[in-house]
Structure 1
Amino acid sequence: MSAAGEAERRWMRGEPRGPLDGVPVSVKDLVAVAGLPTRHGSRTASPEREHADAPAVARLRGAGAIPFGKTTTSEFGNKIVTDCPLTGATRNPWDTRLSPGGSSGGSAVAVALGMGPLSLATDGGGSIRIPACWSGVVGFKPTFALVPAGAATSWTALSTLGPMARNVRDAALMLDAMIHDSVGGYPLTTAASGYASAVDDGVAGLRIAWCPAPDSVQVTQDIAKCVERAADTFGALGARVIQADVAPIADYYGNGRMHSVQWSVFFAQRVRHMEGTDRTLLDPDLKALADAGAQVDTATFVDALLARHALGASMDTFFERCDLLLTPTFHCGPPPVPGLPVHLRQAPVLTAWCNQAGVPAISVPCGFAGDLPVGLQIIGRRGSDALVLRAARAYELARGEFPAPDPGLQILGDTGTAP
C-alpha cells in the first residue's frame, strides 16, 4: 500500500515512472521477490524470506510495478497441471472441477479472475502457454534469455520468464519493463523497450504458415475448428496464410524423447542432493520424473542435446520461408483435478518444441470449445518477439473483447489441498 501511495503521488505530479507505475503484479513462486519466501510449491523449500528480487522482478519494481503476492506452481514447475504437496490443487476459473493447466496455473488464474492485471511466470515446455490456453488469458514465452532469469530460475536451460496478462498490449508493456538490451547471438527485430509501441502495426503482407495438426497430434474436433477460424482471420487482415506440414516439427514429434530425456535429467539433478527425509516429501510425480532421469545414460542425454540443436537449425531455415507459424496451443481440454492423467504425462507436443528451439511463442484466446477457452499459438523465429506480439494483437483486435470467467464460480468436489 505504501508503494501504491508513492505511485499515486507520482501520477498526480505528472511524473510516473512509466505505464506500469502502480500496477499490481503477481509472481510465480519459482521467482524470488524480496521480503517473501520462494517455496517452489515444495515442502522441502526454505520458508526464509528472500533478501533480493530476481532480476526481472527488480526491473518491474524499478518501473513502478508493485509485486503483491506469489502464485501457485506444481513442485519446482515439473508438470503441466498445478497441484503440489505445499498448496494442493489450483482450479480452473471456468470450471473448478478441472485444472487451469501448469505449471504457471496460479498466475493464469490470478489474471483471469482479476486479482491483478499482470503476472510474471515461467515456461520450460509450455508452462505459460498451456494455463493461458485453458484459463482464457494471454501468455507469452519470449525468445530464450530475452528476459533475465538469474541463476536460480534458469537451471534447466529451457525455462524462460515471461508475462501473463488479460490482453496482448499489457503483455507487451510488461515485457518492455523486463528485457535485456540484447540477446547474445540473435538480432532483435525491435529496439529495447519498443514492444508495446510496435504492437499495433498489423499483419498485412506477412507470410504466415498454418499447421492445424502436426504429424501424430490428434487435435479434438471442436478445438481444431475454433483455431482454424482464428487462422482464417489473418487472411482477412491482409496476411498470406498457407497451410503447411512443418517438417522440422514433425521430425521432433517422431523423436518424442528429445524433451522428456532432458526434462527428466534436469529434475534428477535438481533433487539428487536432497536428504532422504526431504525426498519423502516430494510430489510422487516429481519423484517418478527424477527417478527416470537418473536412469538416462550420458550418450542418450547427449543425443537429446544434439537433436535440440538440429531442431533449432531446422526452424531457422523454416523461418526463412515464412514470418510466423500458427498452431493450436493444446490438442485437448484440461483434465480433472487433482492429478495428471497418463495420456498427458509425455512432453506437451505443441508447446515443448518451442523451448527446445528457443523461439518466441504466445497463446491468445480464440474462442470456446463447449464452455472452456481455446488458445491459438503464434510462433516466430528467434528474436522476432515484436512480430509475434504484433500478430497476436492484430488477431485480438479482430476477435473483440474476450469474456472473463464468473468470479463466483462454485468449487465442486475434493479440494485436493495438502494438510
Structure 2
Amino acid sequence: MLDVKKTPISGADDCCLLTSAELTKAYAAGSLSPVEVTAKALERAEAAQESCNAFTLIDHDGALEMARAAEARWQAGTPLSPVDGVPATIKDIVSIKGWSVRYGSTLTDPTPCAADAPSVARMRAAGLVFLGMTTTPEFGWKAITDCLYSGITRNPWNTDVTPGGSSGGAAVAAAMGAGVFHLGSDGGGSIRIPSAFTGISGIKPTFGRVPAYPASPFGTVAHIGPMCRRPEDAEAMLAVMSGRDLADWFQGAAEFPALSAQEVTPKGKKIGVWRTPPSGYVDPEVAAQFDKSLADLAEAGAELIEFELPMADQILDIFNWHWISGARRRLDMLGEFDAGQIDPGLYQMAEQARDWRVSDYIANVNLRAAYGSEMDRALAEDFDYLVAPGAAILPFTAGEELPEDSGLSRWIEWAGFSYPINLSQQPAMSVPAGLSTGGLPHSLQIIAGRGADSQVLALAKWWAARHPDYFL
C-alpha cells in the first residue's frame, strides 16, 4: 500500500481517508458524525489552499450548517440518501445557489447565483455537504489550472509542477483528502488529465448522463462528472448526479442504462490498445508504464488487440473547430472588454475563429458525426473496452501551458488521449497506475461504448482491487 505519510494526503485525519460508504456506515452506527468529518475536511481544504491554491472559496459556516442538518437526519434514521453528509466540492464553473461563481475570470458577474445547476441540485438533494469551490483556468479553456482571477494551482505531489486542468483544483482537493466527492467538467480532458496528474480516479461520463444547465458555450464536447480518490466513490457520486432534467435539451429524451454496481474482470474481454494519439507525443516513461499495465490485463485473461483511432489525421482539426468556436462564443458573451483582462492564450485562440465560416463549422460537425459513428461501431462490434494512458505526458512546470521544449503550440496538442473521446462522447475514466521515477503519478484510461458507464466503473474497481498500492 502507498504510505500516506509520503503522499498528498499525508497528515490527514483517519476520517479523511475513508470512502463514502465507510463514512455513511459510521454515520449510521454513530461512530462518526458528519460535523466531525466536515470539520476535518475543512482543515484539509485549508491545507490544500495554503500549499497548492486549490480553492476560490471555502465556506466554513455553510458547510458546518449542512453537516449539522445531515447529522440530525442520521440520528433520526432519516438520511436523504445513502451518501447524506458526505463532504464535496464544486468547480468554479457550475452554478451554486448563493455563491458567486466566476469561471476563473475577473470579467464575470460577482452576483451570487440564484439557483443551482441541475447536477448541484441533485447533490444538494442527496444531502452532500458543500465545502467550497475549486479552481479552474479562465472559462475552463485549457488543460492546466491558472488564471488572472485566482493565480496558479499546483500539484500536491510536487508543487513545482501542474496538477493539470481545467479541473485542477478539484483534483488537488481529492488527492489531499479535502472531501470525498468533487464535481469537475471535461471538454477536452479536463477531468481525466488532472486525475492522471494527481493520482486520483475521474470519469467523464457518457455525454448527457449528467444534466448541464446553462449549456456550455463549448457545446456538446463538454461533460460534467465526478473526481474522487477511488472508483467506488466516483460510482456513488455519478449515481447522485445522473438523471433527466428538462432544462438540458441536449440530453435528448432517451433513457440511459441505469448505473449498476457491476463486477467485472478482464478475463475474456476484448480490449483495444490505443497507443498513438492523433497529436503530440507520448513520453517514453508513460509508454513503458502503459506496457506494464497491459501486461497486468493480459495476465488477468484479457485479449489485447491493437487499435488505431479512426480518422486520426483529421481529429485535431475537427476538435479545434468545436473548441475554438466555443472559445470565440464565450468571449463574445462578455461584450466589450479590455484584452489585457483575460488570459492571453484564450484570447489568441478565440481570435482564430473570428472570421471562420459557418459552412466550414458545419462540415466539421458532420465529420465529427462520421468519426463518432466509427467509434460507436468499434465499441459495439469489435471491443468491450479501449485502454490508453490517462495522459500522454507527465506533469510539467506549473503555470506553463506546454512542457518546456515540447515544440507544440497549444495544450490541445498534448491532450491527444483525451479530446477524441469528447468528440465521440463515450465514457472514459482515468485511474492511477503507479508512480514515475520522479515520484509523479502514472495513469490508465478505460473507455467503453456510450451508455456503458457502469462497465467502465466496474473495470476501474477491478483495477483498484488488483493494485491497492496505486490508490490513495
TM-score (norm 2): 0.80
**How far did 1:153 drift?**
3.8
State the one-letter code of the partner of 2:421.
C
**How far did 1:252 drift?**
2.9
Report the equivalent of 1:343.
408
**How far did 1:214 drift?**
4.5
Q: Is the 8 A contact 2:118 2:213 kept in 1?
A: yes
Using the alignment, how far apart are the partners of 1:61 and 1:187 within structure 2? 23
Matches within 5 A, 1:9-408: 9-153=72-216, 155-180=218-243, 184=252, 188=256, 190-191=257-258, 194-195=259-260, 197-198=261-262, 200-214=263-277, 218-242=281-305, 244-248=306-310, 251-319=311-379, 320-341=381-402, 343=408, 345-347=410-412, 348-370=415-437, 371-402=439-470, 404=472
What do the CA deviations read for 1:346-397 (whole angstroms, capped 9, x no partner)? 5221100101011110000101122110111111111111101111111111
Q: Is the 8 A contact 1:324 1:378 kept in 2?
A: yes
**How far did 1:138 drift?**
0.7
Using the alignment, how far apart are the partners of 2:279 and 2:132 within structure 1? 40
Report the equivalent of 2:14.
none
**How far did 1:246 drift?**
1.9
Q: Is the 8 A contact 1:266 1:293 kept in 2?
A: no
Using the alignment, how far apart are the partners of 1:111 and 1:63 within structure 2? 20
Using the alignment, how far apart are the partners of 2:204 and 2:287 within structure 1? 22
What do the CA deviations read for 1:194-228 (whole angstroms, capped 9, x no partner)? 34x22x34333322112233466532221112122
**How far did 1:29 drift?**
0.4
**How far did 1:275 drift?**
3.9
Give the direction of change, closer, same or farther, for the CA distance of 1:228–1:186 in structure 2 (3 Å limit): farther
**How far did 1:255 drift?**
4.1
CA RMSD of aligned residues (A): 2.0
Q: Which has the higher helix share?
A: 2
Q: Is the 8 A contact 2:218 2:322 kept in 1?
A: no
Report the equivalent of 1:408.
none
- Bigger RCO (CA 8 Å, 6+ sep): 1
SS at match of 1:365: strand
SS at match of 2:396: coil
Q: Is the 8 A contact 2:142 2:411 kept in 1?
A: no
Q: Is the 8 A contact 2:426 2:451 kept in 1?
A: yes
**How far did 1:295 drift?**
3.0
Q: Is the 8 A contact 2:274 2:309 kept in 1?
A: no
Q: Is the 8 A contact 1:33 1:54 kept in 2?
A: yes
Using the alignment, how far apart are the partners of 1:217 and 1:336 within structure 2? 17
Q: Which deviates more from structure 2 when the two are superposed, residues 98-107 or residues 208-217? A: 208-217
Q: Is the 8 A contact 1:261 1:296 kept in 2?
A: no
Report the equivalent of 1:415.
none
Does residue 4 (structure 1) correspond to residue 106 (structure 2)? The answer is: no
**How far did 1:278 drift?**
4.5
Q: Which deviates more from structure 2 when the two are superposed, residues 267-276 or residues 391-400? A: 267-276
What do the CA deviations read for 1:294-319 (whole angstroms, capped 9, x no partner)? 13222331222122111101111111
Give the direction of change, closer, same or farther, for the CA distance of 1:259–1:132 in structure 2 (3 Å limit): same
SS at match of 2:221: coil
Using the alignment, how far apart are the partners of 1:273 and 1:177 within structure 2? 31
**How far did 1:77 drift?**
0.4
Gaps of 5+ in 1: 405-419
State the one-letter code of the partner of 1:354.
I
Number of equivalenced pairs? 396
Q: Which deviates more from structure 2 when the two are superposed, residues 75-84 or residues 343-352? A: 343-352
**How far did 1:254 drift?**
4.2
SS at match of 1:223: helix
The percent identity for this pair of structures is 35
Q: Is the 8 A contact 1:60 1:177 kept in 2?
A: yes
Q: Which deviates more from structure 2 when the two are superposed, residues 13-22 or residues 318-327? A: 13-22
Q: Is the 8 A contact 1:260 1:346 kept in 2?
A: no
Q: Which deviates more from structure 2 when the two are superposed, residues 274-283 or residues 14-23? A: 274-283
SS at match of 1:280: helix
**How far did 1:271 drift?**
1.1
**How far did 1:155 drift?**
4.7
Using the alignment, how far apart are the partners of 2:264 and 2:72 within structure 1? 33
Q: Which deviates more from structure 2 when the two are superposed, residues 213-222 or residues 312-321? A: 213-222
**How far did 1:247 drift?**
4.1
Report the equivalent of 2:5.
none
